Chain A
Amino acid sequence: MEQNLILLYTLFAPLVGAMLLLFLPKEKEGLIRAFGIGVSLITFFLSLAAWSMFDASKAEFQLQQQFLWLSRYNISFHIGADGLSMIMVLLTTFLTTLTLWTSWSGIAKKVKEFTFFMLILEVGMLGVFVSVDLFLFYVFWEAMLIPMYFIIGIWGGEQRIYASIKFFIYTMAGSLLMLVAIIWLFMYAYNDVHMYTSNINDLYKIGPKIPFEIQKWLFLAFTISFAIKVPLFPFHTWLPDAHVQAPTAGSVILAGVLLKMGTYGLLRFSIPLFPQSAHYFAPAISTLAVIGIIYGALVAMVQTDMKKLVAYSSVAHLGFVVLGIFALTPESVQGAIIQMVNHGLSTGALFILVGAIYERTHTREIDAYGGIAPIVPVYSTLLLIVSLSSIGLPGLNGFIGEFLILIGAFKSPVLNNWMFSIVAASGVIFAAVYLLWMYQRVVFGPVKNEGLRALKDVTAREFTIVALLLVFIVWIGVYPATFMKITEASTAKLIKETLTTLSIRY
């Protein structure tokens, strides 16, 4: 196995940065902010370097690095990246940089602590995506909870304490369930091959051999834990609270990266480790996903709070992703992955824009706005493009993902029922309804509130951040191949191996 240090550098750059940050004086907030952005930028460049060394034509883990961690149980600190990991790493480093930049004005108190927690959070997120060892994955998965708890709890809105505790307990309950399943799988692997192993590649060979009666439970333990994170209906109730109460930066990271860890887990663990169970439960989970799409959209429609509306739209969007994953066709899974990225970009941008106007008026009530188009033309234009991308307008990113998922689900041999696609497609229409309706009420019509006349348009910083996101929104919409290529080989391998195990011809 060839060893490569680049992922290790990427993973630990934010950690080193966070440690150095502790030595900076608390009062120099500007310096601390700049330092945080600098560290995240370096991490981003390191991840780009990793991408340049990454060979997208290969499906297996690359850029690996392994140290023995616990010799008795053969647990090692083993990191590496395949296509799926690579694209998530890039998304993480990109969004973290933008988030830290966004929080320049949004976070007014305890800047040092905030930057520290953001950097630690980045280590956790990157670690989840590059772990090749099951236990290492778990360590990073849990290590992320605490910084997020504090980010919501310290810098959040009025109900922040309730929201942060709810977030913590939901996630922790799910992940402990997963821990027992991990240990069980680990012990089963030992009894099967008489060697301790927690390497995912080895476990991929052992998982499908577990008797179905047991595999079913392991699959459920893993999947429920991921479903809570995604969040899949009916495990979604923590999300609106967490999103609404979190500061803008927290919402962006939550929507952009943290939710993706759930869907990443489904693709990385639930399906390849337990293909028979995944097949067995696919219709049920897809049904929940479709319910989520419709339910999320309907609830989003009646929200009066902009941020809550965007939060519920996340439930709908992630429903698409889960549907795509469990349809298990190359198109749908590729679509799901690109939709994961899309959601990070579009919803991230929506949260940034909602946050920007909230900073000016201190209200997110849709009714408080109206007729701001002539007052803040640039803002209105940006909001329009981002909304359209979230709806899935052809030419922008959202279309590509949803289209691929719908085709894939339509002809999926695993789901074997075109109703899923038909019902899910109606979700796209609902998305148009709630987002455009919100847009209309906020931007057009008469000016409702005289105070709005003094509204300032976007600052150069806000404009640059959203523009950077828009570059990728358009790029994926027009030429998605750049990004789809990264994951093509690993997706093909996943589908092929899973369907071969299930003896389904495709």
Chain B
Amino acid sequence: MNSLNFFNNLGYAWPETIITLFLAILVIYNLVYPQARRALGIISLLGIALALGFTIQQMWTQFPTDPSWLSGFTRMLIPDKIGIFFKVIILIATAYVVLFTEFSEELRGTFDRAGEYYALIFGMLLGMMFMISANNFILLYVSLELVSYSSYVLAGFMKTSERSSEASMKYIIYGGVASGIMLFGISLMFGMTGTFYYFDISRLLMMININSVLFLISGIMIFTGIGYKISSVPFHFWTPDVYEGAPTTITAYLSVASKAAGFAALIHLVRNCFVGAVATDGYWVMLSHFYWKELLVYLAILTMTVGNLTALWQDNLKRMLAYSSIAHAGYLLAAMSVLSNQGLIAMVVYFSVYLLMNLGAFFIVILIQNKTGSENIDDYNGLGTRMPFLGACLGIFLVSLTGLPPTAGFIGKLYLFLALVDAKMIILAIIALLNSVISLYYYIRVLRHMYLTKGNNESPITPSFGSVLIALSLAVPVLLFGIYFTPLIEWAKTVVLR
């Protein structure tokens, strides 16, 4: 590859380039002005805004989606529209997490290391961006590792907290095993096909019918790495401990951004390797003998059921939200298992909504933690009267997570059910629905503690103006998209239907 080619290819990776640049700026700035913490946040936001602009601009750039030799970095990187959607989700999530950091009391002790914190977030962001557009197993693996390493350190960022260090340790062990298995799977895949490129594998599968157990095993091994990122059962064991121990800002980040990257990688893997064609009714014609449908259906059922049933017993709110995020991964897997454009639209809608409501819920948890120093559900007693505005916001987010109208969560669920019923997957739809009923119990339990139980302390808590603004910026869309959701759906359609 000559240098000219490299610069021509840069068009495929402008957002990533910007992020790398700002990562460097953050590190250098922190070296020069070690005390200027707030400036680092502003620089981060600036970088995110720029990257967001370039990402959105890519929407209008035509990239070849066929396996042409000339595409980005010799086809390692393909920024298609669905990828752009997930990048936007991740960038927005990052911006919110940077904002949340300003309000986090628990991170106060680490302010002297703020430079590391922001640099690591950018490292993770960079990894996720590459992971999304990866069309090559090596790039997928490397970017996944970049995400993982940054998040290991971030999860244990509060060095003095035992819980945080424990979380980091557990995360590393699980992550190490999962990515090892994935790498082994990739090597098997390479052994069988002789290539790391998704499109080459797809072309190979079109010509010959690989029908060996080994192929199946290597596919499952590769899925392990992704399954661990999206915390699908049975690769979810790290989730509750890490979510509970990590700083809440990072928990929020992991629950939205890292999950989005994992799902984007899964979508690309399935769509670019295993889909032969898209039928006129939107269903995918699958190649070869890899049982994606069966695998995804069973994993979806397991994931949502285990997530919801375990969430019922949690008294720690962060832990409860961790299990709830496992359950939501299950719903998303269910939408994925339809293996059609409708299913993908459902995923896009669900993820847009999930971003808002999950970040919102975590933000209020952070604010409450600041005041009470606890995430225990018993300490939420009477909070509804002590802080009416934030209480109402948390109520909206939790109702939306349950999937009740008139909130955006209902639209997400509705589209999921529409896709499932359309594909005649009634049993899965009914299981998803029973799961929603179960989830109602634990979400509503929080409201019960906040509004129906009397607390020991009656003194009102007034939120700061900034936090009110941020909470509103998440709560208003949740309500708005619950009532007027056409723009959301239209966007999802443009994203999926290329």
Residues of A near any B CB (own CB < 8 A): 69-73, 110, 135, 138-139, 142-143, 145-146, 149-150, 153-154, 160-161, 164-165, 168-169, 172-173, 176-177, 179-180, 183-184, 186-187
Given the contacts A168-B444, A169-B441, A180-B421, A143 and B405 also touching, CB distance less than 8 Å: yes
Residue numbers in A under 8 Å from B433 (CB-CB): 176-177, 179-180
Given the contacts A168-B444, A180-B429, A180-B430, A69 and B452 also touching, CB distance less than 8 Å: no
Residues of B near any A CB (own CB < 8 A): 385, 399, 404-406, 410, 414, 417-418, 421-422, 426, 429-430, 433-434, 436-437, 440-441, 444, 448, 451-453, 484-486, 489, 493
A365 CB to nearest B CB, Å: 25
Given the contacts A146-B399, A165-B441, A168-B444, A69 and B410 also touching, CB distance less than 8 Å: no
Contact (Cβ within 8 A) B437 A160: no
Ranked nearest first, the 5 interchain pairs of A and B with the lowest CB-CB distance are: A139-B405, A153-B452, A183-B421, A176-B433, A173-B437
Contact (Cβ within 8 A) A161 B448: yes
Contact (Cβ within 8 A) A176 B437: yes
Given the contacts A180-B433, A187-B422, A70 and B489 also touching, CB distance less than 8 Å: yes
Contact (Cβ within 8 A) B430 A168: no
B133 CB to nearest A CB, Å: 28
Determine the main DSSP class of A at the interface with B. Answer: helix
Residue numbers in B under 8 Å from A72 (CB-CB): 489, 493
**Cβ contact of B444, chosen from A135, A138, A165, cutoff 8 A:** A165
Contact (Cβ within 8 A) B426 A184: yes
A72 to B493, CA, bound (A): 10
Contact (Cβ within 8 A) B493 A172: no
Residue numbers in A under 8 Å from B493 (CB-CB): 72
Contact (Cβ within 8 A) B452 A164: yes
Residue numbers in B under 8 Å from A179 (CB-CB): 414, 417, 433
**Cβ contact of B452, chosen from A138, A139, A142, A161, cutoff 8 A:** A161
Residue numbers in B under 8 Å from A153 (CB-CB): 448, 451-452
Determine the main DSSP class of B at the interface with A. Answer: helix
Residue numbers in B under 8 Å from A69 (CB-CB): 484, 486
How many A-B residue contacts, CB cutoff 8 Å? 75
B418 CB to nearest A CB, Å: 6
**Cβ contact of B448, chosen from A71, A165, A177, cutoff 8 A:** A165
Please indicate which of the listed interface residues B405, B426, B441 has the most CB atoms of chain A within 10 Å of its own CB. B405
Residue numbers in A under 8 Å from B406 (CB-CB): 139, 143
A150 to B452, CA, bound (A): 8
The residue on A at minimum CB distance from B445 is A165
Contact (Cβ within 8 A) A139 B410: yes
Residue numbers in B under 8 Å from A186 (CB-CB): 418
The residue on B at minimum CB distance from A173 is B437
Residue numbers in A under 8 Å from B485 (CB-CB): 70
A199 to B421, CA, bound (A): 19
Residue numbers in A under 8 Å from B489 (CB-CB): 70, 72
Contact (Cβ within 8 A) A172 B451: no
A168 to B441, CA, bound (A): 9
A145 to B399, CA, bound (A): 11
A146 to B402, CA, bound (A): 12
B449 CB to nearest A CB, Å: 10
Contact (Cβ within 8 A) B451 A154: yes
Contact (Cβ within 8 A) A184 B405: no
Given the contacts A72-B489, A72-B493, A172-B437, A145 and B448 also touching, CB distance less than 8 Å: no
Residue numbers in A under 8 Å from B448 (CB-CB): 153, 161, 164-165
A160 to B484, CA, bound (A): 35
List 20 interface pairs A-B (beta carbons < 8 Å), by A numbering. Answer: A71-B486, A73-B418, A139-B405, A139-B406, A139-B410, A143-B406, A153-B451, A160-B452, A161-B448, A165-B441, A165-B448, A168-B440, A172-B437, A176-B434, A177-B433, A180-B430, A183-B418, A184-B426, A186-B418, A187-B418
A150 to B410, CA, bound (A): 20
A135 to B426, CA, bound (A): 19
Residue numbers in A under 8 Å from B414 (CB-CB): 135, 179, 183
B167 CB to nearest A CB, Å: 32
A69 to B483, CA, bound (A): 9
Residue numbers in B under 8 Å from A169 (CB-CB): 437, 440-441
Contact (Cβ within 8 A) A184 B444: no
Residue numbers in B under 8 Å from A145 (CB-CB): 404
Given the contacts A70-B486, A142-B405, A154 and B452 also touching, CB distance less than 8 Å: yes
Given the contacts A153-B452, A164-B452, A165-B444, A180 and B404 also touching, CB distance less than 8 Å: no
The residue on A at minimum CB distance from B453 is A161
Contact (Cβ within 8 A) B426 A180: yes
Residue numbers in B under 8 Å from A168 (CB-CB): 440, 444
A187 to B436, CA, bound (A): 22
Q: What would 9 more interface pairs be, CB under 8 Å, given A142-B410, A154-B451, A180-B426?
A: A70-B485, A73-B418, A135-B414, A142-B405, A146-B404, A169-B441, A176-B434, A183-B417, A184-B426
A149 to B430, CA, bound (A): 25
Contact (Cβ within 8 A) A184 B441: no
A142 to B405, CA, bound (A): 6
Residue numbers in B under 8 Å from A183 (CB-CB): 414, 417-418, 421, 429
Residue numbers in B under 8 Å from A73 (CB-CB): 418
The residue on B at minimum CB distance from A161 is B452
Residue numbers in B under 8 Å from A184 (CB-CB): 421, 426
A165 to B453, CA, bound (A): 13
Residue numbers in B under 8 Å from A154 (CB-CB): 451-452
Contact (Cβ within 8 A) A180 B405: no
B331 CB to nearest A CB, Å: 13
A436 to B153, CA, bound (A): 74
The residue on A at minimum CB distance from B435 is A176
B393 CB to nearest A CB, Å: 14
**Cβ contact of A142, chosen from B404, B444, B486, cutoff 8 A:** B404
B476 CB to nearest A CB, Å: 14
The residue on B at minimum CB distance from A138 is B405
A179 to B418, CA, bound (A): 10
Contact (Cβ within 8 A) A180 B417: yes
Contact (Cβ within 8 A) A149 B444: yes
Residue numbers in A under 8 Å from B444 (CB-CB): 149, 165, 168
Residue numbers in A under 8 Å from B451 (CB-CB): 150, 153-154
Please indicate which of the listed interface residues A70, A164, A176 has the most CB atoms of chain B within 10 Å of its own CB. A176
The residue on A at minimum CB distance from B451 is A154
The residue on A at minimum CB distance from B452 is A153
Residue numbers in B under 8 Å from A161 (CB-CB): 448, 452-453
The residue on B at minimum CB distance from A127 is B406
